[in-house]
Amino acid sequence: MVELFESVPNFSEGRRGDVIDAISAAAGKAFVLDTDADADHNRVVVSIAGSRTRLIEGLFGAVARAVQKIDLRRHQGVHPRVGAADVVPIVPLGETTLDACRDLAHELGERFWNHLRLPVYFYGHGEGRTLADIRSGRAALSLGGPGLHPSAGAICLGARRALVAFNVMVFDFDLVAARALARSIRETASGLRGVQALAFELPGRRVQLSMNLFRIGETTPSDVIAELSRRGISMGAEQVVGLCPAVAASPAADGRLLEGRLASAAASAGAGMCEERGGEEPIALAGRLRREAEGLAGLAADQDAILAGAERAAALTPVLRAVGIRDGELEGLLQVAARGLREAVTPATRSIYQARVEALDARLG
């Protein structure tokens, strides 16, 4: 099976639409799943996926464009940063290992330094240091230097598991109190398992908790909201940044499910292959696949939609094969999508739709 990867590069630009569009377009050799910009943080998260070669080319293109377009000497935003292309995590999909992700990160790091003269901090799996170590100045550069790139700084690059980036507005807190709250819910302070948290003051004296949930099998956005509610905290808007694995989905993830976007990307690519083949049947199928791609991209986060999404993703491989399209990368993306959505189906939903779930399990093997 083809090794598949996801990456969620964070770039230090969330306000200039032309720059955001240019970076996203430059990632286009990979499957671009989502582009999520935040003007207050002045940051954009681009979610991409694909095979090793596809991911390397997509990331190199996007980072090169960011180095060209972003000057940190003129950058303002509430989020901490060390680079124009600030953080580039490599995330395994399906059966891909973290070691394979680390190898890919190291190959990319060499290219970033050799071709862009962009210094690299490696972090995460196998590196013995975290982003917090780098941002606090406790870590030396891994490649390049001794100084940083004059306008683009450095890049933080490493392997990690999937996580959920989740923000929530809190009322009746000033920044000092919000920072104390953020510290109290971190895993490192014996708070919630798998939670990293910061607090930011946004324009208009709005206060936001900004969290990474990195043990999504133990703590989800819903668990965070439940804990804050238990403490009597008044909350406002919730936000998933980037995409959310279905197993951790809350209402804030409506239309932002990772697996829905993976299936959508595969369906869209399959449509393109059908159009290239030509002929009445492939062209008709291309139209159907494009409609499926649109629907899967906006998949809701409720249980009925998740089960239906798993069924739709699982059905697409035999549909493509019926017109002679056998592509290991697309089939792998569809398998990852269908299995991820199936994993998110709760026992209660299974009891209601037992026959459907059993048929899905049989199809997935």
pLDDT above 90: residue 231: yes
Q: Tell me, letter by letter, the H, E, C secondary structure of the chain.
A: CCCEEEECCEECCCCCHHHHHHHHHHCCCCEEEEEEEECCCCEEEEEEEEEHHHHHHHHHHHHHHHHHHCCHHHCCCCCCCCECEEEEEEEEECCCCHHHHHHHHHHHHHHHHHHHCCCEEEEECCCCCCHHHHHCCCCCCCECCCCCECCCECEEEEECCCCEEEEEEECCCCHHHHHHHHHHHCHHHCCCCCEEEEEEEECCCEEEEEEEECCCCCCCHHHHHHHHHHCCCCEEEEEEECCECHHHCCHHHCCCEHHHHHHHHHHHHHHHHHHHHCCHHHHHHHHHHHHHHHHHHCCCCCHHHHHHHHHHHHHHHHHHHHCCCCCHHHHHHHHHHHHHHHHCCCHHHHHHCHHHHHHHHHHHC
* Interval 97-118 mean pLDDT: 98
pLDDT in tens, 239-275: 999 999 999 999 999 999 999 999 999 999 999 999 9
pLDDT in tens, 48-103: 999 999 999 999 999 999 999 999 999 988 888 999 999 999 999 999 999 999 99
pLDDT at 1: 75
pLDDT in tens, 119-160: 999 999 999 999 999 999 999 999 999 999 999 999 999 999
pLDDT in tens, 170-221: 999 999 999 999 999 999 999 999 999 999 999 999 999 999 999 999 999 9
* Interval 28-50 mean pLDDT: 97
pLDDT at 246: 98
